[in-house]
């Protein structure tokens, strides 16, 4: 699967663990995958099609006899970069091993040669039955990745090996299957996120509306692709994520210090933080009383990217611009003035983009090429920016 084909078919078998795949679907979307759910008809007894439709935002069908004009088993199979079949019941495993094509999911499986991850969940006696053991062997010999079910308490009162594995384990197995996407192993990626604050007094500051979501999306995407990620976070909470080392800062000066410490060992810098352009000339040590709070004298903050530019020894620098007018021309100017390799610009007139999970704009490369970015998730844009930055690394 290439870094840019993020289409996944999530096949749902008729087991009670089907409801756990709703979380899997969400987590796949969080890391930038576009998921089409294809349930088996019997799985709808556990989780109905409207749930999958609502969560995936896509049509859900189970038979080749629906939407026949689209020839869905072929079109879905062709667009899929990977399959996850979770949960896979003993019956579904048997049908796939036998090459049956008696519902939409098994048709898609036959019609596609994309990598496939099978996540079994069933009673331990069914998992250990000679027929299932042989079917699993057949699938593994054909290149399917078949996970081992987890050991523990089952739906009834007994326990054993047959439980649906933890979502994190499924994601790990999926990302490992997607070996080709781990294209940033050994690369140090430095990301800034959030908005800086410049203290006026102990309780007030000059800040901005940046939510930091784009920076976090970039840090996660880079970590999932194998990079060693350092994230400088300005005034935002960052939940733990493996592979990301977080440094918290408040002001532009603190961010510059943190950047200086890390820039020399960085290969790609993505500067998505919104840095305050100015700060109060002096920060009052005591809270300024209402009667005196009528004028703040400002001085310029350093431009962080422009300060790092002379220290550049092959680092790829990615800038961001949020503009309310004339966006392409101003972004192009920033790209040249700050010595950037590429810049992503979006139109934030009317408060659009801030705080949203989605973004829309243009990537401008140093050679002047413009790539329009239609409305898409910040996770997807994160991966695209990393694709372009990686190309510049050479
Ligand atoms: N930036 C920076 N240092 C600053 C201000 C911004 O490094 N003091 C970075 C931002 O992180 C972003 C890029 O420069 O990646 C463009 O930020 P933006 O605020 O759009 O540009 P400014 O240079 O501040 O220009 P203006 O406010 O005049 O639009």
Q: Give tens-digit pLDDT for 244-288.
A: 899 999 999 999 999 999 999 999 999 999 999 999 999 999 999
**119 within 8 A of 165, measured Cβ to Cβ:** yes
β-pairing, 188-194 vs 268-271, is parallel
| Residue among 271, 272, 312 whose CB has most ligand 1 atoms within 8 A, to mutate | 271
Q: Tell which atom from ligand 1 comes closest to the C-alpha of 273.
A: 11
Q: Which phi and psi angles does 39 have, rounded to 5°? A: -85, 155
User: What angle in degrees, to the nearest 10, is found between the helix axes of 90-98 and 130-141?
Assistant: 50
Q: Is the pLDDT of residue 354 over 80?
A: no
- What is the pLDDT averaged over residues 51-65? 96
Ligand 1 mean position to 274 CA, how many Å? 7
Cα-Cα-Cα-Cα dihedral of 352, 354, 359, 363, to 10°? 100
Provide the pLDDT for residue 342: 97
Topology match between the domains 7-178 and 188-393: yes
Split at pLDDT 50, 70, 90, the class of 70 is: confident
- What is the pLDDT averaged over residues 65-82? 91
Q: Is the pLDDT of residue 180 over 80?
A: no
- What is the pLDDT averaged over residues 96-123? 96
Residue 333 CB contacts under 8 Å (≥ 6 apart), including other chains = none
Q: pLDDT: is 60 or 240 the higher one?
A: 60
Ligand 1 mean position to 272 CA, how many Å? 9
Provide the pLDDT for residue 376: 86
* Range picked from 68-72, 171-175, 178-182, 232-236 for highest mean pLDDT: 232-236
Rounded Cα distance, 37 and 104, in Å: 11
- Residues 279-319: pLDDT tens digits? 999 999 999 999 999 999 999 999 999 999 999 999 999 99
Q: Tell which atom from ligand 1 comes closest to the C-alpha of 343.
A: 15
Split at pLDDT 50, 70, 90, the class of 233 is: very high
Catalytic residue ranges:
208
Provide the pLDDT for residue 88: 98
Split at pLDDT 50, 70, 90, the class of 242 is: low
Rounded Cα distance, 344 and 357, in Å: 16
Rounded Cα distance, 134 and 348, in Å: 58
Ligand 1 mean position to 304 CA, how many Å? 8
- Residues 317-352: pLDDT tens digits? 999 998 888 999 999 999 999 999 999 998 777 665
Q: Hey, where are the domains in the chain?
A: 7-178, 188-393
Split at pLDDT 50, 70, 90, the class of 225 is: confident
Split at pLDDT 50, 70, 90, the class of 169 is: confident
Residues with C-beta less than 6 Å from any ligand 1 atom? 252, 271, 273, 275, 277, 301, 303-305, 319-322, 334, 338
pTM exceeds 0.85 for this model: no
Maximum distance among all alpha carbons in the chain?
84
The CATH code of domain 188-393 reads 3.40.50.10300
Rounded Cα distance, 382 and 219, in Å: 8
- Range name among 13-22, 304-313, 372-381 with the lowest pLDDT average: 372-381
Q: Whose CA is nearest to atom 29 of ligand 1?
A: 323
Rounded Cα distance, 20 and 130, in Å: 27
Q: Is the pLDDT of residue 163 over 90?
A: yes
Split at pLDDT 50, 70, 90, the class of 4 is: low
* Range picked from 5-9, 113-117, 276-280 for highest mean pLDDT: 276-280
Measured CA to CA in angstroms, residue 65 lies from 70, 73, 80, 103, 296 at distances of 10, 10, 20, 9, 69
Q: What are the structure tokens assigned to 263, written together?
A: 């820039």
Provide the pLDDT for residue 179: 64
- What is the pLDDT averaged over residues 219-231? 89
Q: Is the pLDDT of residue 391 over 70?
A: yes
Rounded Cα distance, 268 and 159, in Å: 49
Ligand 1 mean position to 322 CA, how many Å? 9
Q: Tell which atom from ligand 1 comes closest to the C-alpha of 252.
A: 8
Query: Does the domain at residues 7-178 carry the CATH identifier 3.40.50.1950?
Result: yes
- What is the pLDDT averaged over residues 228-255? 92
Rounded Cα distance, 115 and 110, in Å: 12
Q: What are the structure tokens assigned to 217, written together?
A: 């999306």
β-pairing, 82-88 vs 150-153, is unpaired
Q: pLDDT: is 338 or 240 the higher one?
A: 338
Q: What are the structure tokens assigned to 227, written together?
A: 């990079």
Q: What are the structure tokens assigned to 374, written together?
A: 């239609």
Ramachandran class of 290: left when φ > 0, alpha when ψ lies in -120 to 50, beta otherwise = alpha
- Residues 28-37: pLDDT tens digits? 998 889 999 9
State the DSSP string of 125-170. HHHHSHHHHHHHHHHHHTT-EEPPPEEEE-SSS-EEEEEPPPHHHH
Split at pLDDT 50, 70, 90, the class of 128 is: very high
Residue 335 CB contacts under 8 Å (≥ 6 apart), including other chains = 319, 342, 343, 364, 366
- Residues 181-218: pLDDT tens digits? 678 888 999 999 999 999 999 999 999 989 999 999 99
Split at pLDDT 50, 70, 90, the class of 143 is: confident
Chain-wide mean pLDDT for the chain?
A: 92
Range list of β-strands (E), the chain: 7-12, 34-39, 82-88, 116-120, 145-146, 150-153, 159-163, 188-194, 198-199, 205-206, 228-234, 244-249, 268-271, 278-280, 298-300, 316-323, 342-347, 358-365, 370-377
The neighbour count for residue 369, using CB atoms within 10 Å, is: 10
Write down the residue that tokens 């090459």 correspond to.
99
Rounded Cα distance, 71 and 358, in Å: 31
């Amino acid at each position: 699967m290439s870094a840019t084909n993020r289409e996944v078919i999530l096949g749902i078998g008729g087991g009670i663990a089907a409801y756990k795949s709703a979380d899997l679907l969400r987590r796949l979307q969080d890391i930038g995958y576009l998921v089409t759910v294809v349930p088996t008809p019997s799985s709808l007894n556990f989780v109905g099609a409207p749930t999958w439709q609502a969560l995936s935002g896509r049509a859900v069908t189970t038979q080749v006899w629906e939407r026949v004009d689209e020839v869905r088993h072929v079109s879905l199979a062709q667009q899929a970069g990977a399959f996850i079949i979770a949960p896979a019941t003993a019956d579904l495993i048997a049908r796939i091993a036998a090459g049956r094509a008696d519902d939409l999911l098994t048709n898609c499986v036959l019609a596609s040669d994309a990598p496939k991850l099978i996540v079994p969940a069933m009673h331990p006696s069914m998992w250990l039955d000679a027929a299932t053991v042989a079917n699993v062997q057949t699938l593994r010999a054909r290149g399917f990745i078949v996970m081992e079910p987890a050991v523990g308490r089952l739906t009834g009162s007994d326990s054993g090996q047959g439980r649906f594995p933890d979502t994190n384990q499924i994601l790990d197995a999926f990302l490992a299957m997607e070996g080709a996407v781990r294209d940033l192993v050994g690369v140090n990626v430095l990301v800034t996120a959030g908005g800086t604050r410049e203290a006026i007094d102990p309780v007030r500051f000059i800040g901005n509306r940046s939510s930091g979501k784009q920076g976090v999306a970039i840090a996660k995407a880079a970590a999932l692709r194998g990079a060693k990620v350092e994230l400088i976070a300005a005034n935002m909470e960052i939940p733990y994520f493996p592979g990301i080392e977080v440094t918290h800062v408040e002001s532009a000066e603190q961010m510059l210090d943190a950047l200086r410490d890390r820039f020399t060992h960085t290969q790609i810098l993505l500067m998505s933080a919104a840095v305050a352009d100015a700060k109060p000339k002096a920060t009052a040590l005591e809270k300024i009383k209402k009667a005196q709070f009528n004028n703040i004298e400002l001085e310029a903050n350093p431009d962080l990217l422009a300060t790092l530019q002379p220290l550049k020894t092959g680092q790829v620098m990615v800038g961001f611009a949020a503009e309310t007018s004339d966006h392409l021309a101003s972004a192009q100017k920033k790209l040249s003035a700050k010595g950037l390799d590429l810049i992503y610009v979006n139109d934030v007139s009317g408060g659009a983009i801030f705080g949203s999970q989605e973004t829309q704009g243009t990537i401008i490369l140093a050679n002047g090429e413009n790539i329009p970015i239609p409305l898409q998730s910040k996770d997807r844009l994160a991966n695209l920016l990393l694709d372009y930055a990686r190309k510049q690394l050479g």
